[in-house]
Structure 1
Amino acid sequence: MDRGFELNARLEADTILLGDWPLSRVLLMRNRLFPWLILVPRRAGAVEIHRLPVADQMQLTHETSAAAKVLEQMFQPDKINTGALGNVVSQLHIHVIARRRDDPAWPGPVWGSGQAVDYAEGEAERLAGQLWAALQRSA
């Protein structure tokens, strides 16, 4: 399935690996300001959702919804933002972000809204463990 798949270097540098679902590599963005997951289909050369085989499109929709549900349960956000932009990193990846009216970027987009704030020592690992446990139950 993931023959030839390589995670984009920028995505790798900006995230913490949580694990692999049937289709996607699941990552946590290194920015404590927003509960922010990134799903990267493990398909070599994948750039656009509509170019994936239909079965992969359906699986990606399922995984994106499962990620949103976990973020909703864990963080009680006002809104879940989901997007696949690809303007900076062309490798297909889906952002799933829990947004709150009191977050520093509300109501605008999180992209380009100030500097990311990294997690305190040990905080990212604890959150990653909690998220992955919840995500494994939901997939």
Structure 2
Amino acid sequence: MAFSLHPQLAADTVPVEETEEHLILLMNDSQYPWLILVPKQEGLRDLDDLESDAYDRTLHRVRALSKTLKAEFSAEKINVAALGNMVPQLHIHIIARFQDDPAWPAPVWGAKPARPYEKDALQAMKARMLKSL
């Protein structure tokens, strides 16, 4: 079965980078620097569904993305989560957090409605992420 991105992820994000193994997406919410890593394997729901080597590579990539967001935005905290309650496809959120962000100190989910990037800001953010990856 060929890999396909869950429709909700496709609707809420913008592709940043695609490798043989992962998609890196930017959440279209300008309130937070927020990346989503999606392993490109059909049928995954949870991290423990990954084979051992793929699990290691995925967590290595999560670590690299965390360091990128921390360095690029001087984040005070990086939140990493793989909830999947609403979107069952395995995807891992990597979110830069700040004491003055709209949801601090609570989780970002449901705290405030998303504020999509303006067109130019979205292109600039995508370019910034590509450059730093």
Query: Which bracket does the TM-score occupy, shorter chain normalised?
Result: over 0.9
TM-score between the two structures when normalised by the length of structure 2: 0.97
1:20-39 map, 5 Å: 20-39=18-37
Match of 2:6 in 1: 8
Equivalent pairs counted in the alignment come to 133
- Which 4+ runs in 1 deviate beyond 2 A? none
Structure 2 counterpart of 1:41: 39
Query: AA paired with 1:117?
Result: R
Q: Distance in 2 between matches of 1:42 and 1:84?
A: 15
Alignment pair present for 1:133 and 2:117:
no
Q: 1:120 offset after TM fit, Å? A: 1.6
Secondary structure, aligned partner of 1:89: coil
CA distance in 2 between counterparts of 1:50 and 1:110 reads: 24
Partner of 2:66: 68
Q: Deviations over 1:96-120 (max 9, x none)?
A: 0000000010000000011111112
Q: How far 1:48 sits from its partner (Å)?
A: 1.1
Map of 2:100 onto structure 1: 102
In structure 1, what is the Cα distance between the partners aligned to 2:27 and 2:79?
Answer: 14
User: Which residue of structure 2 lines up, in the alignment, with residue 92 of structure 1?
Assistant: 90
2:116 is matched with 118
What's the TM-score once normalised by structure 1's chain length? 0.93
Aligned partners of 2:119, 2:22: CA distance in 1, in Å? 27
Percent identity, please. Answer: 39
Structure 2 distance, partners of 1:15, 1:24, is: 15
Unaligned runs of 5+ in 2: none
Deviation at 1:23, TM superposition (A): 2.1
Alpha-carbon RMSD across the aligned residues, in angstroms, is: 0.9
CA distance in 1, matches of 2:5, 2:127: 21
The Cα shift of 1:121 comes to 2.3
Alignment correspondent of 2:15? 17
Post-superposition offset of 1:87: 0.2
